């Protein structure tokens, strides 16, 4: 689902980075930064005065104020009326500019926040677009354990009790890093990229049956956890019967893709059985994924080698 973020929440999270201040008190703090109109685009949520959009943070810089002051009194008032009647989420003045009293009067009448920052118009537009694209991107919470293995984001999935957390603990002890246990959040930050993160209440913790809740950061150090990682591979753990194992393609393996938020993610099914070193198997699955990304297919190379032997012996 697409997140709904209020103006106040955005300013609370990033306002200190750009020294954004509230100029109009409590007005407009709870305004949502994405509307219900069909076809809303994230990149339209921040922009200059020459393109007024509903639910947008309108930026006013020195160029805009110079333009406004050059207008006749009637044109000036008409332009301000159109600006506020366009229902922007907020009006942000760059370069420490001070709004005229007419802005405050209309802000109060239309319940639209006025904001200020010492940064330039260009810096504010580019940076706010970046933050909004992440804050408002579509996301989903999945059941599994999210890890960074060999520099790649790996989502471990499988039915409850199959051993995901124990496998994650084994991987952590081998130098890999935990992103999130149990409920990682996947966010579509680009058309073909999913970024994973951990809910605040679960950060640094891993539940292992029999041991309870473990604080991975305290046990293994800061390098054992990280806050975010793009998802590259889904390793699905599955218990299989003898007949199911017999049906697994011994050359190609159980490689496929899974669709998450309309993004195709590489997936490999790894059978779970007593005596199998699952951590090594996950590491190998990641290495195999990396080879395929570089264009090398072990199965295809094996088949080609067999053909050469058959031809040479014929």
pLDDT score at 37: 38
Q: Domain containing 164 — which CATH number?
A: 3.40.50.300
Chain-centre distance for alpha carbon 203? 16
Answer with the one of 79, 110, 135 that is the final residue of a domain.
135
List, for residues 289-301, the tens digit of each pLDDT value: 999 999 999 988 9
Answer with the one of 135, 168, 202 that is the final residue of a domain.
135
List, for residues 186-215, the tens digit of each pLDDT value: 988 888 999 999 998 999 999 999 999 999
Residues 231-260, mean pLDDT to the nearest whole number: 88
Are 207 and 181 in contact, with CB atoms under 8 Å apart?
yes
In a domain, 40, yes or no: yes
Are 258 and 265 in contact, with CB atoms under 8 Å apart?
yes
Are 52 and 58 in contact, with CB atoms under 8 Å apart?
yes
Q: Give the separation between CA 155 and CA 181, rounded to whole angstroms.
A: 10
Same structural domain, 187 and 222: yes
List, for residues 267-283, the tens digit of each pLDDT value: 999 999 888 899 999 99
In a domain, 1, yes or no: no
In a domain, 281, yes or no: yes
List, for residues 152-174, the tens digit of each pLDDT value: 999 999 999 999 999 999 999 99
Catalytic entry in 152, 164, 232, 236: 164
Are 146 and 180 in contact, with CB atoms under 8 Å apart?
yes
Q: Give the separation between CA 268 and CA 166, rounded to whole angstroms.
A: 19
Q: Give the separation between CA 147 and CA 91, rounded to whole angstroms.
A: 41
List, for residues 123-156, the tens digit of each pLDDT value: 888 888 877 777 667 889 999 999 999 999 999 9
* Banded pLDDT at 6 (limits 50, 70, 90): confident
**Radius of gyration of the chain measured on its C-alpha atoms:** 27
pLDDT score at 38: 39
Same structural domain, 128 and 150: no
In a domain, 313, yes or no: no
Catalytic entry in 106, 176, 177, 182: 182
pTM score above 0.85: no
Higher pLDDT, 308 or 265: 265
What is the number of domains present in the chain? 2
In a domain, 314, yes or no: no
Q: Give the separation between CA 190 and CA 220, rounded to whole angstroms.
A: 33
Answer with the one of 114, 135, 156 that is the final residue of a domain.
135
Same structural domain, 92 and 149: no
What is the rounded (10 degree) CA torsion for 260, 261, 263, 265? -20
Same structural domain, 255 and 280: yes
pLDDT score at 35: 44
Residues 207-229, mean pLDDT to the nearest whole number: 96
Same structural domain, 147 and 278: yes
Q: Is 19 in the active site?
A: no
Q: Is 44 in the active site?
A: no
In a domain, 2, yes or no: no
In the predicted structure, residue 51 carries a pLDDT above the cut 70: no
* Banded pLDDT at 263 (limits 50, 70, 90): very high
pLDDT score at 4: 63
Are 176 and 198 in contact, with CB atoms under 8 Å apart?
no
Q: Is 228 in the active site?
A: no
Catalytic entry in 2, 4, 62, 143: 143
Q: Domain containing 12 — which CATH number?
A: 3.40.1390.20
Q: Is 164 in the active site?
A: yes
Same structural domain, 103 and 173: no
Domain that holds residue 17: 7-135
């Amino acid at each position: 689902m697409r997140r709904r973020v209020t103006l106040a929440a955005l300013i609370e999270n990033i306002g200190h980075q750009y020294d954004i201040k509230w100029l109009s008190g409590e007005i407009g703090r709870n305004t949502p930064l994405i509307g219900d109109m069909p076809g809303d685009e994230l990149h339209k949520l921040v922009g200059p005065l020459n393109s007024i959009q509903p639910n947008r943070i309108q930026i006013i810089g020195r160029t805009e104020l110079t333009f406004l002051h050059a207008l006749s009194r009637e044109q000036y008032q008409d332009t301000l009326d159109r600006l506020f009647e366009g229902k922007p989420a907020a009006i942000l003045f760059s370069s420490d500019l001070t709004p005229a009293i007419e802005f405050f009067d209309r802000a109060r009448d239309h319940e639209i926040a006025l904001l200020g920052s010492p940064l330039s118009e260009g810096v504010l537009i580019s940076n706010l677009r970046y933050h909004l694209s992440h804050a408002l991107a579509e996301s989903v919470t999945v059941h599994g354990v999210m890890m960074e293995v060999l520099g790649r984001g790996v989502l471990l999935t499988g039915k409850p009790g199959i051993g995901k957390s124990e496998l994650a603990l084994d991987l952590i002890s081998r130098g890999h890093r935990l992103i999130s246990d149990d409920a990682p959040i996947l966010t579509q930050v680009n058309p073909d990229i999913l970024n994973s993160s951990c809910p605040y209440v679960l950060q640094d913790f891993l539940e292992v049956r029999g041991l309870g809740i473990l604080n991975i950061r305290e046990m293994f150090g800061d390098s054992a956890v990280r806050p975010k990682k793009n998802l590259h591979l889904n390793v699905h753990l599955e218990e299989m019967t003898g007949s199911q194992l017999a049906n697994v393609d011994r050359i190609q393996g159980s490689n496929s893709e899974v669709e998450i938020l309309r993004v195709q993610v590489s997936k490999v099914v790894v059978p779970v059985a007593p005596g199998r070193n699952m951590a090594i198997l996950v590491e190998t699955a990641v290495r195999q994924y990396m080879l395929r990304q570089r264009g090398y297919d072990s199965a295809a190379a094996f088949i080609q080698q067999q053909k050469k032997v058959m031809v040479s012996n014929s």
